[in-house]
Structure 1
Amino acid sequence: MTLAIMQPYFLPYIGYMQLMNAVDTFVLYDDVSFINRGWINRNKLLINGQEYMFTVPLKDASQNKRINEVRLADDPKWRSKLLKTIEQGYRKAPYYGTVLPITEKIINFDTDSIAGLIHNSLVELNQYLGLSTTLVPTSTTYNNTPLKAQERILDICRQENATRYINPVGGMELYDKPTFAEAGIELFFIKARRVEYQQFSRNQADFIPWLSILDILMFNDPASIRTMLDEYDLM
């Protein structure tokens, strides 16, 4: 069984989705410290031909809180504002009419926590794209928060009976292949390749990469996106 562990990101870029698709079980590391100005509650869209950073507003977010403890802002107007921004940017995109209902379900999901919002969004994306990955939050499952770093990762792998663990390439200095091998687990690192597609009628020389998966959904059908999800290298 192949496993990956990542902090929950909202409407993440394709590399995150590639990692999720590459494993049998994808563990949402939601009981670790929240990261201010990270990718948990924000990402990038294509608005008026330019890269645009959107942010889900939070209430008293702090690195002294765990991700699953962070609440969404009390004012619900951010949901309609974000949907309006998406309409502004993508209403002429070829798959806007198909993708809008799932986008509305994701953004309007009834929860007051950023972790809950993200968990549901990834479930919805999995269903839309026809993926079979199981999603598991650490906060409700493993009961091993005293463990840190590599030891906690290994413990989660043991609890899930994983024989293969895949981590983003940025973590190569954090994890040790011989230590994983001693535990009977193969360790691999995934590196996303640049994926290009047609963004409106833009010249491909002006293509803006690494935007939210929502950008890819607006311009591509699920079968094409599943092909894109295989555009990575394992090391």
Structure 2
Amino acid sequence: MKLAIMQPYLFPYLGYFQLIRAVDAFVVYDDVNYIKGGWINRNFILGPRGKQLITLQLQGASPNKLINTILIGGRNTKLLRTIKQTYCKAPYFTEVYPVIEKILNHREINLSRFLVYQLLTICDYLNIQPNWYISSSLKKNSVLRGEDKVLAICAELGATHYINLPGGQSLYKKDAFASRQIQLSFIEPRVYAYRQFGDEFISGLSMVDVMMFNDKTQCRALLQEYELV
């Protein structure tokens, strides 16, 4: 069974959804510390001068708090308006904007549950359907940290193949997984340019950008543009 474990991010980039597509089961890692300046509550969209940062406002967010204990800091009206103004002339705005609107109008104020709802909603649009788990609901040893905690989750769910994004190469060692009869791989997204508003392709943006400029068939093709190493 192929498994991935990732913190929930706001409108993650294409590689995050490639990872979800590549596995049989996906664990939302919600009982780890919030990372200030990371991607849990912010991401990039296409702005008039290139990458434009968007941020989900939070209440009292701190690296000393777990993701699932943090609350959203208010309505998302401004964020929704920014996305609408940015992409209103994109070719698939009519299909995609209601998905984004549904997410940002969701009344959940717990950050973790809100982001899970967001991921499920986008995956439903993209027709990605792994088995979903929430880390805080699993019966693991919560004293464990880092690689040991990931290995414990793999053992609980019966994973035979653990797949992570490229950033995990400095965190996880193949020998440690092999000793538990688990294959360890890292997903390497291929850089694939698609038509945006201008002539120059701006990479590394949120999945929102991918969806606004590609129909569902094109999105499914892009979701397969990776290799495992």
TM interval, shorter chain, is over 0.9
- One-letter amino acid matched to 1:184: Q
2:145 partner letter: K
The 1-side partners of 2:130 and 2:2 are apart by 10
Other-structure match for 1:94: 91
* Contact 1:126 1:133 survives alignment (8 Å): no
Distance 1:184 1:62 in 2: 37
The percent identity for this pair of structures is: 43
2:77 aligned partner: 80
User: What's 1:67 paired with?
Assistant: 67
**CA offset at residue 113 of structure 1?**
1.4
Q: Do 1:33 and 1:63's aligned partners in 2 also have CA atoms closer than 8 Å?
A: yes
Shift, 1:102, TM fit? 0.8
Q: Using the alignment, how far apart are the partners of 1:17 and 1:184 within structure 2?
A: 26
What's 1:164 paired with? Answer: 161
The CA deviation at 1:136 is: 1.4
In the alignment, which residue of structure 1 is the partner of 2:132?
135
C-alpha distance in 2, partners of 1:144/1:227?
Answer: 39
Structure 2 residue aligned with 1:146: 143
For the 8 Å contact 2:92–2:211, the answer to whether it is kept is yes
1:105 Cα deviation (Å)?
Answer: 0.9
The alpha carbon displacement at 1:195 in A equals 2.0
Equivalent residue number for residue 35 of structure 1: 35
RMSD: 1.1
Is contact 2:42–2:53 with CA below 8 Å preserved after alignment?
yes
1:218 paired residue number: 212
- Tell me if structure 2 keeps the 8 A contact 1:14–1:229: yes
Asked whether 1:24 is paired with 2:24, we answer yes
What is aligned with 1:227?
A: 221
Name the CA distance, whole Å, in 2 between partners of 1:196 and 1:116: 32
Give the counterpart letter for 2:68 in structure 1.
N
Q: Equivalent residue for 1:108?
A: 105
Specify the alignment match of 2:44 in structure 1: 44
Unpaired segments of 5 or more residues in structure 1?
none
Q: TM-score, normalised by structure 2?
A: 0.96
Question: Which segments of 5 or more consecutive residues in structure 2 lack a partner in the other structure?
Answer: none
3-state SS of paired residue (2:170): coil
Shift of the alpha carbon at 1:49? 5.0
Distance 1:62 1:21 in 2: 31
Look up the SS of the partner of 1:172 in the other structure.
helix
> Letter of the aligned partner of 2:179 in structure 1?
E
C-alpha separation in 1, matches of 2:139 and 2:118? 22
Alpha-carbon shift at residue 141 of structure 1 (Å): 2.2
Residues 20 and 128 of structure 2 are in contact (CA less than 8 Å); yes or no, is this contact kept in structure 1? no
SS of the counterpart of 1:53?
strand
CA drift of 1:15 comes to 1.0
Cα distance in 2 between the residues matched to 1:19 and 1:142: 24
- Tell me the residue number matched to 2:118: 121
Number of aligned residue pairs: give it: 229
Aligned-pair CA distance for 1:152: 1.0
1:2 aligns with 2:2: yes
Q: Distance in 2 between matches of 1:173 and 1:137?
A: 24
Separation (CA, whole Å) in 2 of partners of 1:161 and 1:176 = 19
CA distance in 1, matches of 2:157, 2:62: 31
- 1:124 maps to amino acid: T
Find 1:195's aligned residue among 171, 184, 192. Answer: 192
Question: 139-148 or 110-119, which moves further after superposition?
Answer: 139-148
Residue by residue, what CA displacement relative to the aligned partner does 1:87-146 show, whole Å, maximum 9, x if unpaired?
A: 110001111011111111111112111111110011011110111112211012234211
Between the aligned partners of 1:100 and 1:142, the Cα distance in structure 2 is: 38
Residue in structure 1 matched with residue 14 of structure 2 by the alignment: 14
> Partners in 2 of 1:143 and 1:54 — Cα distance?
34
